Chain A
Amino acid sequence: MIPGMVAIALVATMLSAYAGSQSAETPAPAGAEETATQQANREAFGKAKPGPWAYSGASGYTNYLGGGIGYSPEQPVKFPHPVHVNSLKMNCAFCHNAANQSPDPGLPAVATCMGCHTIVGAGRPEIVKLTEYWNNKQPVPWVRIHKVPEYVHFPHMRHVNAGVTCQTCHGQVNNMPQVFMAQSLNMGWCVQCHVNGYDPAEGVRAAGYEPDSATLALPKKKATYDCATCHY
């Protein structure tokens, strides 16, 4: 088969991860400004004691980018996940559309933002910033928060398609006016699931919902854990 100009990308299963679109009943603060409660919440994350699994020395507290749990750099455009996910019920995969088909989750192109924001909220300060980037034909230089080291290969689609909720690793981004790191993403943290299995009900709870009876009945998902699963 010669794919030619057609990508090898294959038809993937629908994103099964929980996303904010199911959270009609969960009220979430809208707007880009962080409330005092949220700030306290974020700082509490930063001080969180590492779990018993974080045995690999200092890396339990700081991540590869030097940030660690609670790392929350200011972004060039204050993109409010809560508004988009909770209020507007957009699925994570609407913007991060490669997460279920590629190792790389994908970041929305500026054009995707402008698809709505040419009209929606055109006069607001953050939208003005966004529009400036668009007009200057410049991409938005988002500050990276989550990164695993060079020698780790994390295929997003294997996790997403196995039903791991986005929030399991990224925290409740749908409730973060400014995204911060919720988990250490160090190896000790990873192998919790790879060795002990991933409990779908826990994943649902991590996303902020109560699992239904069907989810509670699901067995733990297991994964291989030899070094070459991720390190090559």
Chain B
Amino acid sequence: MTVDTSVSETGSSAGVKRRDFLKVLGVSGAATAAVGCSSGDVEQLIPYLVSPDQTVPGVSNYYATTCRECAAGGGLLVEVRDGRAIKAEGNPEHPVNRGALCARGQSSLQGLYNPDRYRQPMKREGDALVATTWDDALQILSAKLGEVKSRGQGSRVAFVNQHEQGSFPAFLDGVLAGFGIAPHLSYDAEAPVAVLQANQAAYGAAWPAIDFSAASLIVSFGADFLDGWGLPVPQQLAFAEARGKVEGAPRFIYVGARRSLTGLNADQWIPAKPGSELAIVNAIAGKGSAAAAAEAAGVGVALIEGLVAEVRKARASALLAGGFGQDAGELATAVAELNKARGNVGKTIKPADGYLAFEGVAGHAEMRALADRMNAGEVPMLLVRHANPAYTTAPGVGFAAAMAKVPFKVSFSSVPDETTSLCDLILPDHHGLESWGDAEPVKGRLSLQQPTMDPVFDSRQTADVLLAVAKADPSLASKYGFADYRGYIASRIGGNQNLKNALPTALVSGSAASRTAPARTASRATAKEQRGEYTLITYLSPTLGDGRGANKPWLQELPDPVTKILWQTVVEMHPETAKKIGVADGELVTVTTAAGSLTAPALVYIGLRPDTLAVALGRGHTAAGRYAEAGENAWQLLAAAEDRAGGAALGATKATVAKADGKKQRIVTTEGSGRQHGRGIAQAIALPALLAGEEGHGHHVFEGQASTEFLPGLRSPTANDAQGEFGVPNSKDKGQYDPEHWSGAAKRRWAMTIDLAKCTGCSACVTACYAENNIPTVGASWQGPVLLPDRTGFGANITRGREMAWIRLERYWEIDREPKDVVFDPEHPDFETRFIPMMCQHCGNAPCEPVCPVYATYHAPNGLNVQVYNRCVGTRYCSNNCPYKVRYYNWFGYGDPSRTQYAFPEPLHWQLNPDVTVRQKGIMEKCTFCVQRIKEAENRAALEQRASVGEDGVRIDGLRPDEFTTACAQACPSRAIVFGDAADDQWAVAQWIKDRRAYHVFEELNTYTAVVYLQKVNHPAPTASATA
């Protein structure tokens, strides 16, 4: 394959050691040019020095390992080509994620290849951090630890680790104990600490599995199980599976002041005031009246009465408590009691199948207590690894200021962040994809972590650094009988051979080393009077989390599934609120709390109570790299920092909001209109109507024209039909479009179905597409038009509609007026939301094709609508004529390293998929149905001699049904996307297209699309359906 490695022989490689580069390069060409004409360049072919075993140049290896992007510990299969990890996918055999992978997990690659990663150890000299050697750094660390030990100060030293499961925490505590240091703090700003404690007390398991399929009713009290509450991927798998049943699928009610992504997936929304959830739970439990609860919640009493009745009538319900109020713990306990009383435990809530993700996690209270100790001068040394408490704590904690009182601070983080930039010594850890380790996501199952490639930079795994330091101390050396951390992992599962045997799946029975339970710090949930007429909800960003994903351009450019905002922080407010303070979308407002203030553009959001405001966490970093600077930091608004269980109370701060100086910012969004305007793009049907056999939609009949009636299956099973019907019917030579053609090219009809009953809008497919297809991110501040400096800034390209996402997640409100005109009705607050992934529909009769003057887009015999980059001259007629608006134009040289708009600064470009062309400036691109995967499968079939020639002399490609799929379908944690051959009944897609819910978008345009959607299914309240 022609790999664009783009590392020049003569050019500087900005810190990547040439040798390291060569190690991983293999035989791919080291090109001086990326794309386009390059005549005259001398290019080199660099061979391996020694060929690695088990690799064939140009053929991928797959390594199973464990994801470290959140606490869940999901399984990865990492595709490695010529020594470089190029794609992260879910491990199908893993008990947590069963082959699916969220956007954050996939973006682990952009952490691995992050251009802002530390490239070697650093130490502080004056105000600056300067590069040093490992020998020097280790010597400093050993000396400092020895000092602490000899002075007997060990018990006062603090080690803050990003929370992770597995054996490392115990290993770390063991090493620390050798120096007299207390067990470390395992901090996770995303952990719902209050819920964990309540669950542990009530169920005996901190995070029970939730069996949505067994439930007839799901009620979530602010539990955002699809976007950040607990373990999003397994929860989404279970939820989508349940909803995909259609008949007998659970109805879902969301109770909470802000409709999160989870809330938008609910059939009903009860917008209870923050803090009133407990009253509602009590009403259901019979401990209070519905009227009182409705009063507290600020909603109509009928809503509460309906909810109470439904829960009491439900055969089996799953009641989930989330919420980030100060009473989160009490709420979770009350909900757990209710689940017990309703007999749900063991049926829908399964403590026995629980996840161990959050064992031993420390919360906000522990960080606050640590800051207090540091402020008092009690901490002689602070060590931190990956955690970023200087950013992810409330300003009242003053973590960064407290760090100044610590004489010596060490960081093991591999990327810069606010905490690490204040440290005196940085010993960069390997990235998770370069490291050894393990996790125990479910009891008795170990998920191993192995390096997928040689380290990108001069980093070292922290475990090995600690081992080296411990072994340097004569009194400790004897405790460690293994050479390195790999040896430790092997010794835990019975030796090297066992490790080798387990690595192909990276799954093995066993348990992780048990850690000492952390000492809990008493919460300081203040009852202090806060002022402000609004309650501020600072929520964990579904894309960036608590902020750890902020320096990954894929995640910055992934629109928030709810607001569709990217690269920007906005203040969400109800349209009524916006009217009241006199602002419209984009006008700057200042939110002030007891802790601080923030100025950002206003955004009208109808899924929010008028007495609340919402701002996403995660953006506005000051020292976390080039991409992380986008937006504003909402952590600085957190005034009521803790709930009574010691977790972060993200929704209990009071705030005021006022119009700022009248200035305006463009809203950085990918949304055109929030409504469908009757176009029937995302269709839905209520379950009773579906069961009654009603048509979910009508079709238009035009006299004298062919019927547009939807036929089960694809109207044109092979491309030839499409060509034949609409082309020249009596053409003599149909060439490869003839089904009888020797090549068999027209035998396949590649198609896709997307089940909107399962799709939750999570957008994992979008990131999967970026990763697979070398799609450039275009929203960084320097990627705008250079000649128009006033049009730059983060998201400048996006505001001009220049995003490149080949697949996008449309989100439509089903409302009868513009969002800005929506009024809040406490009796009828509900509205419906529909999500629909939209990509090239590969029309059988494509409007883009006839308008291309240079035949750059054409219809392949197998049904693909193909874009030929080298033919394209960039007229953009095709995009103008596309009814689906799924074609994207390269306005700049995003693939050209010499341009400021270059989207893959070294070493991000190491991730580029060698099977996909990096597009050049001035050409059009779009979804290809992952044609490179089709080709790869065909090549594999040919290599395995499965291809043959039939009796009629027509070639048979030998593909097995469903033997491969597209990147979006592979990643989808809802399993909503199915790809395959619609002309062959053995493929799953051929069955799905015959589903009674199937429809084509804009079928009245006679485009005969190859993407078939299955209608979303709504589950109305039982009473409503009875009257309907």
Interface residues of A (CB under 8 A from B): 2-13, 62, 64-66, 73, 98, 101-112, 134, 137-144, 147-155, 157-158, 161, 222-228, 231-232
- Complex CA distance for A144 and B56, rounded to whole angstroms: 20
Question: Residues of A contacting B34 with CB < 8 Å?
Answer: 150
- Complex CA distance for A189 and B50, rounded to whole angstroms: 36
- In the complex, what residue of chain B is closest to A58 when comparing beta carbons? B39
- Complex CA distance for A152 and B62, rounded to whole angstroms: 25
Excluding A142-B46, A153-B1, A161-B943, 6 further A-B contacts by CB distance (< 8 Å) are: A7-B59, A65-B42, A103-B939, A104-B58, A152-B2, A158-B942
Query: Which of B46, B736, B864, B868 has a CB less than 8 Å from the CB of A224?
Result: B736
Question: Residues of B contacting A138 with CB < 8 Å?
Answer: 22, 49
Q: B715-753: which have CB < 8 Å to A?
A: 736, 742-743, 745
Are B59 and A107 in contact, CB atoms less than 8 angstroms apart? no
Interface string of B834-872 (1 = CB under 8 A from A): 000000000000000000000000101100101011110
- Complex CA distance for A224 and B743, rounded to whole angstroms: 6
Number of chain B residues whose Cβ lies closer than 8 Å to a Cβ of chain A = 72
- Complex CA distance for A7 and B943, rounded to whole angstroms: 14
| Shortest beta-carbon distance from B1009 to chain A in Å | 18
Interface string of B892-924 (1 = CB under 8 A from A): 000000000000000000000001111000000
Question: Residues of B contacting A65 with CB < 8 Å?
Answer: 38-39, 41-43
Are B38 and A139 in contact, CB atoms less than 8 angstroms apart? no
Answer whether A232 and B38 are a contact pair too, CB < 8 Å, given A5-B503, A141-B46.
no
Question: Residues of B contacting A104 with CB < 8 Å?
Answer: 1, 27-28, 56-59, 82
- Complex CA distance for A154 and B64, rounded to whole angstroms: 29
- Complex CA distance for A165 and B575, rounded to whole angstroms: 71
12 A-B pairs with CB atoms under 8 Å apart are A6-B54, A8-B61, A8-B940, A65-B41, A102-B59, A109-B50, A144-B42, A155-B939, A157-B939, A158-B939, A223-B743, A232-B932
Are B939 and A139 in contact, CB atoms less than 8 angstroms apart? no
| Shortest beta-carbon distance from A152 to chain B in Å | 7
Are A150 and B57 in contact, CB atoms less than 8 angstroms apart? no
Query: Which of A8, A62, A109, A153 has a CB less than 8 Å from the CB of B48?
Result: A109
- Complex CA distance for A157 and B942, rounded to whole angstroms: 9
- Complex CA distance for A105 and B58, rounded to whole angstroms: 8
Question: Residues of B contacting A158 with CB < 8 Å?
Answer: 939, 942
Answer whether A149 and B870 are a contact pair too, CB < 8 Å, given A110-B50, A157-B939.
yes
Q: B620-655: which have CB < 8 Å to A?
A: none
Are A2 and B77 in contact, CB atoms less than 8 angstroms apart? yes
- Complex CA distance for A165 and B240, rounded to whole angstroms: 52
Interface residues of B (CB under 8 A from A): 1-2, 4, 9, 19, 22, 27-29, 34-35, 38-51, 54-64, 77, 82, 91-93, 503-506, 736, 742-743, 745, 858, 860-861, 864, 866, 868-871, 915-918, 928, 931-932, 935, 939-940, 942-945
- In the complex, what residue of chain B is closest to A113 when comparing beta carbons? B47
Answer whether A226 and B745 are a contact pair too, CB < 8 Å, given A147-B43, A150-B918, A232-B931.
yes
Are B2 and A161 in contact, CB atoms less than 8 angstroms apart? no
- Complex CA distance for A37 and B928, rounded to whole angstroms: 50
| Shortest beta-carbon distance from A224 to chain B in Å | 5
Are B56 and A232 in contact, CB atoms less than 8 angstroms apart? no
Question: Residues of B contacting A223 with CB < 8 Å?
Answer: 743
Question: Residues of B contacting A226 with CB < 8 Å?
Answer: 736, 745, 858, 860-861, 866
Answer whether A151 and B939 are a contact pair too, CB < 8 Å, given A4-B503, A226-B860.
no
| Shortest beta-carbon distance from A101 to chain B in Å | 6
- Complex CA distance for A155 and B915, rounded to whole angstroms: 10
- In the complex, what residue of chain A is closest to B36 when comparing beta carbons? A150
- Complex CA distance for A109 and B943, rounded to whole angstroms: 24
5 A-B pairs closest in CB distance = A4-B504, A104-B58, A66-B39, A109-B48, A102-B58
Query: Which of A5, A143, A157 has a CB less than 8 Å from the CB of B45?
Result: A143
Are A107 and B77 in contact, CB atoms less than 8 angstroms apart? no
Query: Which of A6, A12, A106 has a CB less than 8 Å from the CB of B57?
Result: A106
Answer whether A231 and B58 are a contact pair too, CB < 8 Å, given A5-B63, A142-B45, A143-B44.
no
- Complex CA distance for A227 and B928, rounded to whole angstroms: 13
- Complex CA distance for A141 and B25, rounded to whole angstroms: 12
